[in-house]
Structure 1
Amino acid sequence: WRSLILRIGEKSPEYGGTIDHKDHIDACFGAVRRELEHSTFLLQCSEQLPHKIPLYGTLIGLLNLENEDLVKKILETTQKSLQDALDCNKIRISMRFLTVLMCSKVVQPSSLVVVFETLLSCAATIVDDEKGNPSWQARADFYITCILSCLPWGGSELVEQIPEEIERVMVGIEAYLSIRFENINQDFVEDLWGRIQDLSKNSWKLESVPRPHLLYEAQLVAGKSHAISCPEQPFGRQKHEAELKYPQRIRRLNIFSASKTEVQPIDRFVVEEYLLDVLFFLNGCRKECAACMVGLPVPFRYEYLMAETIFSQLLLLPQPPFKPMYYTLVIIDLCKSLPGAFPAVVAGAVRALFDRISELDMECRTRLILWFSHHLSNFQFIWPWEEWAYVLELPKWAPQRVFVQEVLDREVRLSYWDKVKQSIESTPALEELLPPKGGPDFRYEDELSTEVNGMVKGRKTARDVIIWVEESVIPVNGALRVVVQTLLDIGSKSFTHLITVLERYGQVIAKICPNEETQIMLISEVASFWKNSAQTTAITIDRMMGYRLISNLAIVKWVFSQSNLDLFHTSDRLWEILRNALNKTYNRISDLRKEIINLKKNVVKAEKAKAELDAAETKLMLVDGEPVVGENPARMKRLKSNAATTKDDELSIRESLESKQALFARALEENQALFMSLYKNFRDVLMERLDDAFMDMDKENYTTSEKQEWCLSTLGYVKAFSRQYASEIWPHMDKLEEEIVHPLFKKA
C-alpha cells in the first residue's frame, strides 16, 4: 500500500504501467481504507511530492465519506503543520494542500478564505508606513505569493462557491500591490499577479493542474466539509533578515525566446512550482528527482522551461537553495533521462548565457564556469568549440574570452592537460587559452638549497633546521626565497608531500616569515613557484593559512598589491585565493559559534541534573504513614549518578566554554579587521580608476574600454563578496560607512 500511495499518478509497475488517474485513485483507496492508521504516510507524501497533491486530495475526499474522524485528525495534523510551516517558511505547500482539500469537499471554502484574508491583512500592515515596518516587505510579498499560488489549484471552485468572498481577497491583493514599494522592473509578485488575472479572464481554465476530484464529484458532494483556523503571525525587524528568511522563490531567467517556452502564463507558473517543489523535496536522491521532473502531470512539453528553472536556481543570488553541485548532478541525470531532447536544450541555454555573459553578475559567471566545466567533464569534454573560436580576436579582458579561458582551466583541473587539448582539436587555435602545461618553477640549485634539501631528506627536526637557518641563511641577503622555494619543491610531488612538509617544517617557515610583510613575500614565492598551476597555488596558500603560517590580512594585501592589479579582469586566479581566505575565516567563526552553543547546552544540562537532585532530596514522601524526606530509592540513585557524572564534566565544560568564548571574541576582532582591510583596499584601487573609466565610455556605440571593464569586474566582486558575507559585515557597517565608504564608491 505504501508503494501505491508513493507511485500514484506514475506509469509504474504498481499500477500495471497505466496512467489513468481514476484507476490509480480507486486502487489506492481500496488499499488505504484498510490501513487507516497509517494516514501520516499519506500526509508525508502530500508534503514531499506536492505535484501529486490533487490526487492525494481526492483520495482524502473519498476517505472523508467513510471516516470523518480520521479526516478530522488529518486536518488537525495539517493545521499544526500549517503553524510550523509558517514559522519556518514552508507554508506554501500546506496552503496548496488545504486548497485541494477544499475542492474535494473536505475543507470549507469560507474557512480557507479566512486564512487568505488573515495573511493579506498581515501583509498590508507590514508595508504600512505608520503601523508596520516596510523593511519587512519581503515577508509581506511572501504571504501574497502564498495566496496567489493557491489559486491555480482551487480558484475555479472558490469563484463558483463563494464568489463575493474570493473577489474581496482579489481586491485586497490589488490594494496591497498599490501600496508596496515597487521595483523598476516587474518583480515576481507583480508577474504572478498578472498571470492570475489572465487565468481569471480565462475562466480559471488551465492544462497543467490535474483535476481528478471532478471524476468523483457526485460522490464527494455528500462529504462533510470541516473548518480550519488561521495560524498566528510572527514578528521581526530588519530588511536583510527578512530577505534571508523570506527569499523570492525564483528570480526567473528568460534564457530562451518566448516561442521556445510558449505556454499560457499561468501554466508556466504551475510547471515552475512543480519543478521547484521536486528540486526541494527530493534533494537527497537526485535520480528520483530527475525521474519526477521528467514525468510531471502536464499535457505539453516543457524541456526549455525545465532548463530555465534549474539555471534560475543554480544562478540565484545571493546563494542557491542547495549546493551548486546538486543542480550539476540533476542536469547530468536529465540529459541521460532525455538523451534526444534535453542535451540540446542545455547547449542552447549555455549559448544564450554565453552571448550575455557581460551582463551576468560576477558571482553568476563564476558559478556558470564551475558548472559548465564539470558538466563537460561528464560528457567526454565534447563541445563545438569552433563556435567560440572568435574569442581569440577579442581583447584579453573581454568577458567571453575570459569565460572560455577559465572553463578550459577548470577542465584541466578535472582531467589533465593533454586530454583537454585533445577535446579542442577542432579549434587548435584555442590552445592559446589553455593554462601552461609545465609543473613547478624551481629556480634555485645553489649550495644553500642543496643543504636544505639534504637536511629534509635526512629527517632533521624543525629545531635543527631553524638553528641552521639562523646561523647560515639569515646573514645571506634574499635567502628566505631559497629556503621557501626548496621546501615547496620537496612538497611539489603530491598533495601528501606538501602536507608532510608543512606539518614537519611549518615552524621553519613561521620563523623566517614572522610578520605580515614577510608573509606577503611568502605568498609571492608560492605564486611564483606555482605560476603554471592556479589550482596548486590556491591549495598551497589555503593550507598555509590553515596552519597559521599566513594571515588572512596578508592574503588581502597581497591580492591588492600593485603587481596583481592588472589581473583583476583577466583571470579568476586572485579572486579564488581571496574567496578561500574569506571562506576559511567565516568557517572558523561559524564553527566556534556552533561549539559555544553546544557547550552552553551541556552546562544547562548539568545544572538541570543538579536541580532535579536537589528537588528530589527535599521532597516529602509517606512511608508506612510517616513523612520521609526524599523520593523512592531507585529514582534517587539514578538522579545522584546522573548529577555526579554531569558535575565531573561541568567544570571542564565551563573551562572549555570560557576558552572558546575568548577565541570567538578574538575571531570577531580579526573578522572586523579583515573586512575593514578588504573594503579599504577595494576603495583605494577603485578610486584611482573610477572617474577616468566612466569618462572613457563610448556612449554612442556602447563599447567598453579596458579600464572600464576593469572597474566593472572589480565592482562586481565588491558586490559578490558583500552579498555572500552580508551577515558578517552588517555588525561593522557603521564603522565601514564612517571610515571607508566614499560617496563615489557607493554610487558605483
Structure 2
Amino acid sequence: MSYERHGSGYGGGGRRRRRDDYDHYDRREAQQSPDQKVKADIIKYGEVDAEQELPQIAAKLRSQEQPNIPAIAEGFRLAVTEQPYKIPFYAALLYYLSIPAAKEETPVVEESITQPPLGRLVLDDFWKGFQAYLDKLAWRETRLCIHFFAHLTVANLISPQSMLGLLQSFTAVLDEFGVSNGRAKRAARCAAEGLMRAGQVLKEHNATAVIEMIAGIHAYNDSVKTAKWLVHPLAHLHSSEVSDEHADEMLDCAVSALKTLDLSDFIDVSGIFPQLYAAMSTSTVTPFDLPSILVPPEVIELAVLASESSEDAPIKKEEWPEYMLRLFDNDVTADPKTPAGYAVRADLLDIIEIFEVNRKECARVLVEYPKWIVKGTFKPRPSDPTEVPDRITLPGRDWQLESTLIETILGSHFLLPDSAIKPIYYIALITELCKLSPQTVGPAVGKSIRKLYGYCANGLDVEVLRRFAEWFSVHMSNFGFQWVWKEWAPDLALPMQHPKRVFVHRALELEVRLSYYDRVLKTLPEPFQDPSAGAMPDQAPGPTYEYEDATAPHYDAAQSILNQLRSRAKPEDVLAHLETVKNSLAEMADVNEDPDTLIRSIAIQSLLHIGARSFSHFLNAVERYLTVLRALSGSSEAKTHVLELVASFWQRSHQMVGIVFDKLMQYQIVEPADVVGWVFAHSSKGLDWDLLRSAVDKANGRVVVARRRVATLRKEDDDAHARAKAKANGGVADAATMEVDAETMHDPQVTQAEDSPQLVSALKAYEGVKHEQKSTLAHVLEGFVHTLHGSSEASRRVIAADSWEGHTSWGDEEWVAWRTWMWYKHFCRLYSPYLRSFVTTLSAVSFASLESSSEDGAMLIKRIWWMGTAQE
C-alpha cells in the first residue's frame, strides 16, 4: 500500500513549501534553553561510547558559570527513571562530578575549596526527587533510583550504613499487618535489586543485616505459594503443588539470584553490572549519608472510610504473583534464576513498560541493549561489524538476544490474570522488531510459535491460549498470512475439542476477521481447507436469514414486517402491524407454534436482516425500534428466545454474536444475567468465554459508572451545603471550611442536610446496578458449580488424572470439561476484587449444594474459590 500524497492537502490550494521554510521551522523548533540543553546532554550520554563521552560531558557540566543544580539533578532523575539500562553509566558520571577535575580538564570556573563538589550538590537534589517518587508510591521510579544509589554505594559516594538503612525500610514493609501482595511484592523487589548491586559493600559493612533481609524476602515469598498455583500459565489440576517447569515467577527469581550472590559474598557483581566508576576510585570523596525514610502506607480513599459496607468500597485491581512463561532453554535465553539472567530480564521488562508510548523507539532500544551491558552476555549479531574474532564469552551466558527479547515480551503479554499493558502493544512491538531486523527476529518468532503450540497439549492455560491465538492471527496478517501449516496437518486427527484443534480454529477465525475468507483459505494446504477438518467453515461469515427463500414457511408475513422496517415506519405502527400478523398466524390451522414465539422470531430476524449490511445499519435499526424490541422481550423466557434468535441468525459469525449481545445489554433489552444463563445452557461444546466475560464486564462497568456519578453528585451536594451554611452564618465559605464541612456531612452524629433529588436518584440507580452485579456474579458461579459438579463423568476423569501423560486418551468430553475448569479458575482470579465484595452472599447462595460434599470435584471448586477470594 502506498502512502504517498498526490496533490495538495486539505482541499487543495496549498503552495509548495520552499526548503528555506523547513529550515526556518527546524531552527525554530531546535532552540532550547540552557537548562533544557543540560538535561538533553545528560539523557543522551552513553548513546555512542560511554567511556569516551564521560570526560567531555563532565567538563561541559563543570564549565557553567552558575550551574543550575536542580536542572542537572532533574536531568539525572529523568535519565535514571526512563533509561534504566544506562544507570551504571549515570552513576559513573555523577561520581566523576564528585571528584576533583582532572588536569586535562580546563573548566571555566574552578571549584572552591569550601564549595561542595558539583556531584555532591546534584546528589543532594536528586534525593529530593526520590523522596517525591516515594511519597507518591511510584514504585518503578523508586526502584530504579535505588539501583542508582546502589551503584553509588559501590563507588563509595554513598555510605554503606545509610544505604543499608534505606533497603531495610523496604523489607520492613513485608512485616506490615495485612500488607497487600502488590505492595509487598514491589517493596521486596526494591530491596532485592538494591542488594544485588551493592551487596558486596553492604555485606562487608554488616553481614548479619544483609542475611536477615534476604531471609525476610524469602520468607514472604514462601507465604504466597497458594496464589502462585492459581496464576501459573501451565495448569495442573491434579496437583496442589506449584511447578516451576516452563515458567518463572519474578520474586522467586529475585530470591534465587540473591541466594546465589550471597553464597559468593557478591564478588561476581562486577561481571553482571558495568562498573565504569571502579577505575576512578579515590579516597578523597566523602560519602553521602542518605536520610532515613519510612515507606508511606497505601492510599486509602475517603470513600472507603465513609462506606458502611465493603460492598460500597471502590474496586482495586488485585495484585498477583508474576509468572513469566519460558519458551527456550537456559543456554539460549537469559535464565532469570541466575543473577545475570535476572538483571537482563528486569532491564528488558522495564524498557518494555517505559517505552509503551513509542513502540518504534522501544524496538530500537531493545535491539541495541547489548551495548549497555557487560560484553559477552549475548551472542554477536551476524551483521555486527564491530564484533572481533577474539570476542569475550562469559561462562553460562552467550545468549541469543532476539530469542530473549521475544520470550520476555510474550512472557509479559501472557501474565495472568491480566497483562500490565494492553495486548495490542506487545503485538505491535514484536511487529516492529521483525521490521527492524527480520533476518534475526523472524526465526525467533517462529520458534516461539512452535513452542507455544506444543504447550497447548501440556496444560497451557486457556486464557494464555486465547491471547496466543490473537497474537498469532494479527502477526500473520502483518506478514502476508504466511505460515508452515503443513507442520500441523497431522494434528487434524486429534479430537475436535483438543486444545491444538481449538487454537487452529480460533486463529483462522481471527485471521478471517482481519482479512477475507477467500484470501485466508488460499494460504492453507488442502487438509485445512476441507470443512470436515474443523479448521475453516465451508463458507464466509455472514447472516442466516430463515425467511430469505420464497418457499420458506411464513415468507409473506416476514416480508410484510421487513417492508415496514425498511420503510422506517414508526415504532407504534410496527407494533400494531406485528399484532395484526400475530392474530392472522394464530387463526391459521397449520400453525403449531406459539404465535408470540413465532412473531418474535420473524420480527427479530427481520430487524437483524435490516442491520446486517453494516454496524451502523444495525445500530440505527436498534435505536429506532427500541420500544419494539422491549415489547418483544418482556419476560425472562422472551429474553432467552431473543438471544437464541441472534445466535442462530449470526451462527456463521461469532464476532457479530458478541457485538449484538453487547448492544442488547447496553440498551437493556436483555440483562447480563440473561446472557450468562444462555452461555451455560449452550456450554456442552465448550464454554463461550468471550460472551461470558462481556456480560460480567457489562454488569461491573455499570456499577463503576454509577459509583462515579454518586461521588460527583455527593461532592457537589457537600460543596453546596457548605456554602449555604457559611452564608447562613454571615461568613464566606473558604476552602478549609468547605473541606471540614464535607467531612462532617458523613458523620452519623451530625444532622445531615437533605440530599438533592439528583443525588437521591443516583443513589437509587447505584443500588439497582449493584444488585444486578451481585445477581450476575451469582449466576456465573451457579453455572460453573452446576456444570463442574453435575453428573458429568468426564469432569471426574479430568480431576482424577494424576499427570498430563494420560491426556492422550481424552476425547471431546474430557477436553470440554478441562477447559470449563480452566475458565472457572480464570473467572475467580480475574474478578477476584468483585467477588471479594460479595464473598459472604455468594458463598452461601452458590455453594450451598457443595457444603456436605467431600468429592474431589466439590473440594476443588471450593479450593479455587477460596484462593480467588483470599480466604485460604
TM-score per shorter chain, which class?
0.7 to 0.9
Q: Could you report, residue by residue, the CA deviation over 1:583-633 in whole angstroms, capped at 9, with x for unpaired residues?
A: 222222222223333333434444566677788x659xxxxxxxxxx99xx
The answer to whether 1:193 aligns with 2:239 is no
Cα distance in 2 for partners of 1:105, 1:504 equals: 74
1:263/1:507 CA distance change after superposition, 3 Å: closer
1:338 Cα offset (Å): 2.2
Cα distance in 2 for partners of 1:442, 1:40 equals: 65
Contact 2:199 2:210 in 1 (8 A): no
Cα distance in 2 for partners of 1:598, 1:274 equals: 41
Contact 1:452 1:483 in 2 (8 A): yes
Contact 1:481 1:525 in 2 (8 A): yes
Q: Could you report, residue by residue, the CA deviation over 1:109-146 in whole angstroms, capped at 9, with x for unpaired residues?
A: 210101222333442x34xxxxx44x746644543332
| Count of matched residue positions in the alignment of Structure 1 and Structure 2 | 692
1:215 Cα offset (Å): 3.9
Aligned AA (1:594): R
Contact 1:592 1:660 in 2 (8 A): yes
* Further displaced range: 543-552 or 661-670: 543-552
Q: Pick one of 538, 552, 566 that aligns with 1:457.
A: 566
Contact 1:372 1:407 in 2 (8 A): yes
Contact 1:81 1:94 in 2 (8 A): no
RMSD of equivalent CA atoms: 3.2
1:495/1:672 CA distance change after superposition, 3 Å: same
1:582 Cα offset (Å): 1.6
* Further displaced range: 334-343 or 390-399: 334-343
1:652 Cα offset (Å): 13
| Identity among equivalent pairs (%) | 23
Query: 1:181-220 counterparts in 2 under 5 A?
Result: 181=223, 183=225, 184-185=241-242, 188-200=250-262, 201=264, 203-218=267-282
- In structure 1, the residue matched to 2:843 is 737
Q: Pick one of 645, 650, 660 that aligns with 1:525.
A: 645
1:313/1:440 CA distance change after superposition, 3 Å: same
Contact 1:89 1:246 in 2 (8 A): no
- In structure 2, the residue matched to 1:388 is 488
Secondary structure of 2:569's counterpart equals coil
Query: 1:568-607 counterparts in 2 under 5 A?
Result: 568=686, 574-606=688-720
Query: 1:158-557 counterparts in 2 under 5 A?
Result: 158-159=202-203, 163-174=204-215, 177-178=218-219, 180-181=222-223, 183=225, 184-185=241-242, 188-200=250-262, 201=264, 203-218=267-282, 221-234=284-297, 247-248=320-321, 250-261=322-333, 265-296=338-369, 297-298=372-373, 299=375, 300-301=377-378, 302-358=401-457, 359-425=459-525, 428-429=528-529, 432=533, 433-435=535-537, 436-437=539-540, 439-444=542-547, 445=550, 446-473=555-582, 476=585, 477=595, 478-557=598-677
* Further displaced range: 517-526 or 439-448: 439-448
Contact 2:717 2:756 in 1 (8 A): yes
1:40/1:607 CA distance change after superposition, 3 Å: farther
Cα distance in 2 for partners of 1:598, 1:29 equals: 52
1:740 Cα offset (Å): 1.7
In structure 2, list runs of 5 or more residues that go unmatched: 1-36, 100-116, 226-240, 301-309, 379-400, 586-594, 739-752, 862-872
- In structure 2, the residue matched to 1:711 is 817
The answer to whether 1:669 aligns with 2:771 is yes
TM-score (norm 2): 0.74
- In structure 1, the residue matched to 2:163 is 112
Contact 2:153 2:198 in 1 (8 A): yes
1:427 Cα offset (Å): 5.5
Aligned AA (1:472): V
1:293/1:207 CA distance change after superposition, 3 Å: farther
1:668 Cα offset (Å): 0.4
- Greater fraction helix: 1
Secondary structure of 1:252's counterpart equals strand
Cα distance in 2 for partners of 1:481, 1:211 equals: 75
- In structure 2, the residue matched to 1:78 is 130
Cα distance in 2 for partners of 1:236, 1:602 equals: 23
Q: Could you report, residue by residue, the CA deviation over 1:322-361 in whole angstroms, capped at 9, with x for unpaired residues?
A: 1111111111111122212112112111111110113111
Cα distance in 2 for partners of 1:459, 1:539 equals: 23
Q: Could you report, residue by residue, the CA deviation over 1:437-488 in whole angstroms, capped at 9, with x for unpaired residues?
A: 1521112151111111221222210111011112332563212211111111
1:409 Cα offset (Å): 0.2
Cα distance in 1 for partners of 2:437, 2:726 equals: 62
Contact 2:151 2:197 in 1 (8 A): yes
Cα distance in 1 for partners of 2:711, 2:606 equals: 44
Secondary structure of 1:260's counterpart equals coil
Aligned AA (2:622): L
Q: Pick one of 31, 42, 45 that aligns with 1:8.
A: 45
1:708 Cα offset (Å): 2.3
Contact 1:208 1:271 in 2 (8 A): no
Q: Could you report, residue by residue, the CA deviation over 1:356-377 in whole angstroms, capped at 9, with x for unpaired residues?
A: 1131112111111112111111
Cα distance in 1 for partners of 2:474, 2:219 equals: 45
1:7/1:437 CA distance change after superposition, 3 Å: same
- In structure 2, the residue matched to 1:720 is 826
Secondary structure of 1:274's counterpart equals helix
Cα distance in 2 for partners of 1:460, 1:520 equals: 27
Aligned AA (1:198): T
Cα distance in 2 for partners of 1:207, 1:600 equals: 59
Q: Pick one of 58, 64, 71 that aligns with 1:29.
A: 58
1:182/1:456 CA distance change after superposition, 3 Å: closer
Cα distance in 2 for partners of 1:304, 1:597 equals: 48
TM-score (norm 1): 0.85
1:607/1:153 CA distance change after superposition, 3 Å: farther
1:182/1:492 CA distance change after superposition, 3 Å: closer
- In structure 2, the residue matched to 1:646 is none
